[in-house]
Amino acid sequence: GTALAAVLGVTLLSGCGSQQLLSIGDLSSGYNREVLFMSIFAIALSIIIFVGVSYALFFTVNKFREDKNTAEPAQFHGNNRLEIILVVVPVIIVMFLAILTVRSMAILNPVADTSTKIDVLGRQFWWNFSYPETKADAGGTVANGNEMIMPTKQDVALTITSGDVIHGFWAPNVGGQRAAMPATLKTWNVDTDRAGVYQGNCSQLCGGSHANMRYKVIALDQERYNTFLAAAKAYRAPEPAADSPEARGYETFMKGKSETGALACAACHRVQGTTAAGAAGPDLSFFGTRRTLGAGKWEAMTPEHWEAPDAKAELHAWIKHSPLVKPGSLMPTYDGSEYLAAGKKVKGGVLTDAEIDDVAAYLRSLKLPEEANYWNDTP
């Protein structure tokens, strides 16, 4: 009894505000409720059939036991009525399940007039989420790497694709999973009634860091979502003060260091409101607001966030040599060691530790205004 209470208590606590555990049984999503409804029907029908067939089997075996029947039983050659029943009844059962399934598919398939649309891009080994209907004031489309912000209490229409191999979009608490296929657009609706932070994973084995291809789904109530979106549209990366670490980091981010072969971050990453428009890596526009690094390889969940010493150390290590933090990361290295570029090993450029810290300082300064911080009120 105590053990059960403890288990229930933990379940209740974990359902309270904090990050939700990965669950296909999270009934705050309409998708999951529909799947549960289907499952209950299919399981109930299976139980009825199992009990019926078992009863018929044991009844027959018992009734026609040899020791009860000394005379030879009556012999039949064919029984049209029985044979018709044996074909028609299973067909009716399968038809019934098929109709239920088609009904669920019709409900779960995306509808054209869904108010929120999010484009999902999976790549080795990160995700990008962009909001195709929101043109940013500074140009381009609002986008965020590895953290998907969605409103609660409405269907959110995802258009899912991949930039390289097949990945799988799987955030079970908000509904189902869908393959992310190269050169193919897949549509998918997700929804949840409850604001909170949900875990997303890649569900398709896609290479060395498949397990490190995670993301967060952050569901906000409509009003807070609107605040986020308005701020995201108006966002321009803050201009660093002259001679600050951020200003030096900005220089390196945009231009790299040609004398040491260190590539510019801007060649692969986009930062809204700057000339950085690269698309080979995740969007870094709100990096300072994000709490995950390297597609969930590391999470800065402390109140001090990126200013905490361990978070700073992680960010430094990531910029310096990301494949050491996450095997298979395709980001160039900045300590002169080799990394993989288009399948070939090439020598990385060099940034000094001070230069790396400056780039990190610039990244940490890329923040949404505090009222639009989608991590607010979430631990």
- Contact indicator for 315, 294 with CB cutoff of 8 Å: no
Looking at the Cβ atoms of 162 and 227, the one nearer to ligand CUA is 162
* In the block, residue with structure tokens 């400056």: 358
Looking at the Cβ atoms of 108 and 331, the one nearer to ligand CUA is 331
| Residues of the chain by 3-state class (helix, strand, coil), percent to 5 | 40, 20, 40
Contact pick of 178, 210, 269, 270 for ligand CUA (by CB under 6 A): 210
* Residue 203 Cβ vs ligand CUA, minimum distance, rounded to whole Å: 7
Helices 30-63, 80-108: inter-axial angle, 10-degree rounding: 170
Looking at the Cβ atoms of 20 and 204, the one nearer to ligand CUA is 204
Answer yes or no whether residue 326 interacts with ligand CUA by CB under 6 A.
no
| Strand pairing category for 177-180 and 126-135 | unpaired
Contact pick of 206, 293, 300, 351 for ligand CUA (by CB under 6 A): 206
Measured between its terminal Cα atoms, the distance across the chain in Å is 31
Spatial CB neighbours of 134, under 8 Å, sequence gap ≥ 6: 141, 142, 229, 232, 233
SS3 345: strand
Looking at the Cβ atoms of 168 and 175, the one nearer to ligand CUA is 168
Answer yes or no whether residue 122 interacts with ligand CUA by CB under 6 A.
yes
Looking at the Cβ atoms of 288 and 296, the one nearer to ligand CUA is 296
Contact pick of 118, 120, 148, 213 for ligand CUA (by CB under 6 A): 213
Find the binding residues for ligand CUA in span 328-357 (CB under 6 A): none
Looking at the Cβ atoms of 167 and 326, the one nearer to ligand CUA is 167
* Residue 127 Cβ vs ligand CUA, minimum distance, rounded to whole Å: 9
* Residue 125 Cβ vs ligand CUA, minimum distance, rounded to whole Å: 6
Find the binding residues for ligand CUA in span 146-205 (CB under 6 A): 167, 202, 204-205
DSSP result, 185-240: -EEEEE--SS-EEEEEEE-S--STTGGG--EEEEEE-HHHHHHHHHHHHH--PPPP
Interaction site with ligand CUA (CB under 6 A): 122, 167, 202, 204-206, 210, 213
